[in-house]
Amino acid sequence: MNTPLDMLRMGLIKLSAPVSFVNPADPTGGMKSAREKVEHDHGAAGIRPPPSETIISVIQRFRRTGAVESLRHLKYVCLGLGASIDPQGWCVFADAGLLRRVIDLVEKLPEMRRRMRCFQALLSSYWAFPFDGKQTSGVAQPNQAAGWRELRSWLRAEHGRSARSLEPKPSWFTALTKYEALLTDRPCEQFGAPLLCGDATELNDAVKSLAIPPDSWVQQEAIIAQMQAGCALDDGAFKARLSNLIAITTGHVGVELGPMLGRRCVALLVWRYALCSEHREHIALRDAAVAIVGNPWLHRTHWDAWVVDARGKPHDPSREMVNGWLKRRLIRDFFELLSADGMGDRRRVDYWLRWEPVIEDMWFVLGRDAQHRSREPFKDFKNRAKGRLLDLLDSTSDNNAFVMRVGRYLLVEFGAKGNAMFVFEWDLLDQSLRDTLEGRAQSVSIYSLKDNRGWRMIHYSPDWEQRFDADLHSLIGTCPGALPTGVAPVQHAPRPQAFSPAAWSLFAQTHGLRVQDLRNVQGALWVLGVEQPDAVVAQLNAWGFRRRDPKGWFKE
C-alpha cells in the first residue's frame, strides 16, 4: 500500500534531473556538466529536490510551529505545498492560514536572490498541483484548489513586482514573463489555436524553459484550450475538425487523458455540436460521449454535472440530442437486428422512430438466441443498451420484446411478427414486472408482458399505423411526429376493449371521467354527465353503458 511518503517520493523523483556520469579523462565533458549544474541550480527553472523524507519532516514541523529554521527549510516548504503528509490527505494548500504564513515569510526575505529561489520553489508546487493526476482518485479537494488559486494570484502579483526591479533575474524569469498568462485563470489559451493547427512549438518552449513536469495540469489545460479553439470556429470549420478532436479525447493519437480531462473535452464537443444549426447523428461523438461521460438517460445527474452551458448550468439541448441519438439507434437495432426472421421490419422501425421524443425510458427483453449472439453488431447493440437489457422467459428462443415507457403507460412490442402490441398503465402493472423494470430483477416472463389487463393492438391491416395512432391518441393522449411518408392519417374511434376492473380504471383516469359506483348497494356504475367525447361514447356503448338524461351514462 502506498503511503503519503511514498507518493511524495514518486512525485519528487519526476521533478529530478537525471544524474550524468562523466569520464574523468574527459575534462570538456566535465566542464560542460559543471556549467549545466550551475545553470540548473542558479539560473534554470528546474529544481533538484532534496529527499522526500526531508521535505515531509520539515513540513510536519512547520505545521506544528508555523516557523522554519532556515532559508533552506522555507524552500523545502515551498516545494511541498501540495504534498499529502497524513492519511487524511492534509497539505499546506488545504490550510489557508499556513499558506498565508509561507507567503509572508517569502515576502519578508531581504534579498532578491533569496526571494527568487523561494519563488522558483513555489512555481514548482504550482505546476505540480494534481487536478487530474494518475496518482489521485479524482479532482483535488475544493479547499486545496482554493489554496492553489491563492498561490496563483500571489505568483502573478509577485512576478509583476519583481519585473519592475532593476536587480538581475535568472533566465527562467524571462521565460515566465513571456508566458505570464500561465498565472491567470485562462493559462493555456495562447496555445489553443496553434495546437489546433498542429503547431506545439510555443507549448514545448514554455514547458522546457519553465521546467514544467510532463504530468502537469499545464499539458491538460493546453488540450482543453485546443478543444476550446475548435469550438470557437464556425459550424463548418468545427465539424471539419471534430473527428480529430474526438480522436484526442479517446486516446487514439497517443495522448492518454485522465478521466476528468476526458470528460471535460467530450462535454465541450457535445455542447458545441448541439449549438450547430444542423446536428444529425455523429456516431463517433455519440460513442465517445456515452463511453466517457455516461448514458444521459440512465445517469442524468452525472451527465448534467459535466455537460453545461457557458453559465455552468446543465445544457438541456446537448442531453436531449444524445438521448435522441441513443434511442433512435436502439429502436433501429431492435427491429433490424432482433426480429425473429432475421430481416429488418422497416414499417415498425419508421413507426416507432416517430415516438422517440416522448419515450422516457425503454428496455430490451432478449430471448435465448439474442442473449448468446456475439457478432459485432450485437455486441455494439448490447453495449449501447447496457443497463436496460433483460432476459425473456417462457417464450420461443427467437422472440424479443421492446418495452417503452410513455408518461403513465408502458408499451410492449415484440420482435416476432404476429405478436400484438400491448399497452399497460404503469400503476396497474404486475408487481413482478415493476420489480424487474425498476432494477430489482433481471428477467421477465412473456406472460407478464401479455397480461390481459392491458390493451391489445394488432398489426393486422394495411393501415395499422393510422389505427395505432388513433387508438394511442385516444388512450394515452399523445401521438407525436408525422406519419411515415405516403401514409395518410385516418380518424376513427378506438376498437372496443374487453371490460375489466383494470381496463375500466385506466379508461376513467385517462379521460378524467367523474364516476359514481353504486354496485355494492345493488345500484349501477355511473359516468356523470351526458356530454362526452365521441371516443368515450363509443367505448361506453361497446361496454354496454346506456345514456340517461340528465345524469349521465350507467351500466348495471
Instruction: State pLDDT tens for residues 407-443.
Output: 889 999 998 777 788 999 888 888 888 889 988 889 9
Higher pLDDT, 530 or 190: 190
Backbone angles phi, psi at 433, to 5 degrees: -70, -40
Question: Is 407 strand, coil or helix?
Answer: coil
Which H or E run contains 552?
strand 552-555
Higher pLDDT, 489 or 67: 67
Q: Which of 458, 385, 374 is nearest to 422 (CA)?
A: 458
Least confident of 203-207, 305-309, 451-455: 451-455
| Cβ atoms within 10 Å, residue 65 | 9
Least confident of 49-63, 80-94, 290-304, 530-544: 530-544
Instruction: State pLDDT tens for residues 168-184.
Output: 888 899 999 999 999 99
> What is the structure's pLDDT at 439?
87
User: Do the Cβ atoms of 125 and 55 come closer than 8 Å?
Assistant: no
The distance between the two most distant Cα atoms of the chain, rounded to a whole number of Å, is: 120
Q: Look up residue 476 and give its three cell numbers.
A: 394515452
The answer, yes or no, to whether the previous bond of 357 is cis (omega within 30 of 0) is: no
Please say if the pLDDT value at position 523 is more than 70: yes
Please say if the pLDDT value at position 61 is more than 70: yes
Which residue's entry shows cell 425473456? 392
> What is the structure's pLDDT at 344?
53
User: Do the Cβ atoms of 480 and 358 come closer than 8 Å?
Assistant: yes
Higher pLDDT, 379 or 189: 189
Direct distance between the N- and C-terminal alpha carbons of the chain, in angstroms, rounded to an integer: 77
Instruction: State pLDDT tens for residues 457-505.
Output: 888 778 888 888 888 888 887 777 655 444 444 343 444 456 778 778 8
Backbone angles phi, psi at 359, to 5 degrees: -80, 115
Give the sheet arrangement for strand 400-406, strand by strand: 443-445, 389-393, 361-366, 400-406, 409-414, 421-425, 455-457
Beta bridge partners of 274: none
From CA 153, how far away is CA 173, in angstroms rounded?
A: 17
Domain locations along the chain: 4-178, 233-321, 338-476, 511-555
Please say if the pLDDT value at position 8 is more than 80: no
Distances 11 to 93, 122, 124, 144, 148 between C-alpha atoms, Å:
16, 15, 11, 17, 17
From CA 548, how far away is CA 555, in angstroms rounded?
A: 11
User: Do the Cβ atoms of 92 and 100 come closer than 8 Å?
Assistant: no
From CA 286, how far away is CA 386, in angstroms rounded?
A: 15
Backbone angles phi, psi at 471, to 5 degrees: -65, -45
How would residue 106 be classed by pLDDT, with cut points 50, 70 and 90?
Answer: very high
Distance of CA 50 to the CA centre of its chain: 41
Please say if the pLDDT value at position 553 is more than 60: yes
The Cα angle at residue 132 between residues 126 and 135, in degrees rounded to 5: 95
Question: Is 56 strand, coil or helix?
Answer: helix
How would residue 166 be classed by pLDDT, with cut points 50, 70 and 90?
Answer: confident
